[in-house]
A and B are shown apart, each in its own frame.
Chain A
Amino acid sequence: GPKVLQIPSHQIIDMGQMVTLNCDPVSNHLYFYWYKQILGQQMEFLVNFYNGKVMEKSKLFKDQFSVERPDGSYFTLKIQPTALEDSAVYFCASSLLGVGYAEQFFGPGTRLTVL
């Protein structure tokens, strides 16, 4: 079936550095999402992106976070600067439609460790 790819699978960085997480969504999908999962906890919604704009974001989407998808390239999540509490697995997802019943396809996640 359709696959979402995420690069890298693991990233270790020092606190205060910038990090960019990359997502290659399903090719014809229009809606993109990031979720955060701290070890042992559930996945939590960060942000929803469509047509070049953030449509909705949660309180977890701090000012240090930003997302973009320049012209069909990767959908990226940038954190600048990083903090210890940003250590988590970040899942990217995409969907063709934005309606409630639309299936979101998930990538395998990027494990981010902030030291």
Chain B
Amino acid sequence: GDSVTQTEGLVTLTEGLPVMLNCTYQTIYSNPFLFWYVQHLNESPRLLLKSFTDNKRTEHQGFHATLHKSSSSFHLQKSSAQLSDSALYYCALRGGRALIFGTGTTVSVSP
């Protein structure tokens, strides 16, 4: 079945440094939709980025990601982390009706 893999459980970094969160997926669908959701403490998960176009960079709020179907990847990047980026980040895949989530990566940014 469909699956999403996020290899990092926890990423800790200093404010101002770049951040990259890995996301790879497996799916039977040839045109999957990939999403990044962010969940701050005591808040609901909310959509950060989405893409379904191969090799096209998508950006929002300083974050960017590019869907690469050749490597089944949708890594999330930001050039300079801020304290407010501390949160739980989920990569998710939608081939059929269901959203399939990865295990999530907790990002902790310190001064």
Chain A interface residues (CB < 8 Å from chain B): 1, 3-4, 33, 35, 41-45, 48, 55-56, 58, 91, 93, 98, 100-101, 103-109
Contact = CB atoms under 8 A, between A and B. Distances in A.
* Main secondary structure on B side of the interface with A: loop
A101 B50 CA distance: 7
A58 B21 CA distance: 28
What DSSP secondary structure best describes chain A's contact surface? loop
B99 A42 contact: no
Given A42-B90, A100-B33, A101-B33, A48 B97 contact: yes
Residues of B in contact with A, size category: 20 to 34
B101 A43 contact: yes
B47 to A, nearest CB: 5
A73 to B, nearest CB: 21
